[in-house]
Amino acid sequence: MPPSPTPSVTRSRGNRRRTAKLVQRQRSSSPVKKANSPQYRAINMADANVFVDHFPEAPATIDEQLGRVFGGATWAASQWAAIEELARQYCEISRVLAKKGAGVNEWRSQLFLGLLQPLSRYEPEILMLTHRSDPADTNQAILQIQATASVLSNTPIFSMSSTAPSDVSSESPNGLSTPKPDIALGLAHTSFTSIQRTVLMLLQDDCRVLSEPHRAQIGLRFPFLVIESKGGAAGGNLIGAQNQAAVDGACALNILGDWQCVVTRIMSQPGYVQRNQGNPTTEQGEEDNAPVILFSVTTEGPVHEIWVHYRIGEAYHMTCYRAWRTTRREDAREFVQALARFVEWGRGAFRESVLDSLGRIEDAVLGGVLTRIDTSQATS
């Protein structure tokens, strides 16, 4: 039988255990600002120039863009019928979930399976939809960003490893949360031609335009709609969903901002020649100068909000477009119609703007113009 430990060894081990517990208590009591805390919007987001509801009414230029999105072409009778049926079903299940105080997973699944999947199924080769079914799963869509006060002045980084909770920055108590949209809708990688895919991958590999916003690339590029959902039960609130959506939207705006910068940089070079160059129409010129907008949906149980995201100078803004309670039949109908307009706009005008820019620069990118520009600037 081995000898019993001496009293000094026993005390030493006991001291180490007590010290470890004390350190653990100290760590867990340190201030961590989560996305649904009152300080997060007032301090963390403000430091990064991300603002919610600073403009209760969207500026005129943004409102004009909204008119183009929601005032699209009249749907055919078959489309109206399909949307009406989706709205009826969603209203019925909303009433069931609200009555029992369902949690976030049930609400999120119904939004994904009952609405977004059927709506985006009409153009599966053009659009890509992702769903974070398990909040604890880290191998999902993650719009990761650098945790600094000026975080959003830089391009998002999507491959940073972190042991921090999903909604907390590991770098600074005043940092932003790690963007992990519950649902994201964007353009499918396979919807681009082989040459276009090569251009996008070159820009991604060089960290010039990170159009694929996932830790592990799955084929979604240029997200134009993100959704943050909370359940009707305890554990989350609508303010938290709004804050998360604001950061999601800011990162998605950064992707488009980087994209515009690359296009402008190439087209401003002496000797630039656009292949298949035509005379732009007045309408095309106006669209080129139109402000960039993106959208988000935030939910808490049956309460559903649609927000528009845009930039003014260095600030990222998020203004509420409409809010509904989907247990009411008319509200459910209007909400589903709005989602259908998003899908229509994404596969139409939004995608066309990306393709138009690609057509202007693909030859130059494949020819290595950006590397030559970098070399010229480094030696000058």
**Is pLDDT of 294 > 90?**
yes
Share of the chain above pLDDT 90, in %: 56
**Is pLDDT of 113 > 90?**
yes
pLDDT at position 20 = 44
pLDDT at position 149 = 30
Kindly write down the DSSP assignment for every residue of 40-102, as one continuous string.
IIIIIIHHTTEEESSSSS--HHHHHHHHHHHT-PPPPHHHHHHHHHHHHHHHHHHHHHHHHT-
3-state SS assignment for residue 39 = helix
pLDDT at position 374 = 77
Q: What average pLDDT does range 283-311 have in this prediction?
A: 84
Domain boundaries, the chain: 32-379
pLDDT tens digits along 22-66:
334 433 333 445 778 878 999 999 999 999 999 999 999 999 999
The alpha helices in the chain, defined as continuous H runs, are 7-28, 38-39, 46-47, 60-70, 77-100, 104-111, 117-120, 194-205, 238-267, 282-288, 329-345, 351-366, 369-379
Within 10 angstroms of residue 177's Cβ, the number of other Cβ atoms is 26
- Residue 69 near residue 292, CB atoms below 8 Å: no
**Is pLDDT of 11 > 50?**
no
**Is pLDDT of 12 > 80?**
no
- Residue 153 near residue 145, CB atoms below 8 Å: no
pLDDT at position 35 = 79
DSSP lists the bridge partners of residue 227 as: 183, 297
Q: Measured between alpha carbons, how far is 225 from 186 in angstroms, rounded to an integer?
A: 7
pLDDT at position 90 = 97
Least confident of 33-37, 178-182, 351-355: 33-37
Parallel, antiparallel, or unpaired: how do β-strands 50-52 and 315-325 relate?
parallel
- Residue 262 near residue 208, CB atoms below 8 Å: yes
pLDDT at position 55 = 94
Greater confidence, 200 or 152? 200
pLDDT band at 255 (very low <50, low <70, confident <90, very high): very high
Q: Which residues of 87-117 are buried (b: 16+ CB within 10 A; e: fewer)?
A: bebbbebbeebbeeebbbebbbebbbebbbe
pLDDT at position 274 = 67
pLDDT at position 146 = 33
CA nearest to 177, candidates 230, 125, 244:
244
pLDDT at position 38 = 77
The single-letter code of the amino acid at 95 is R
Classify residue 150 by its DSSP letter: T
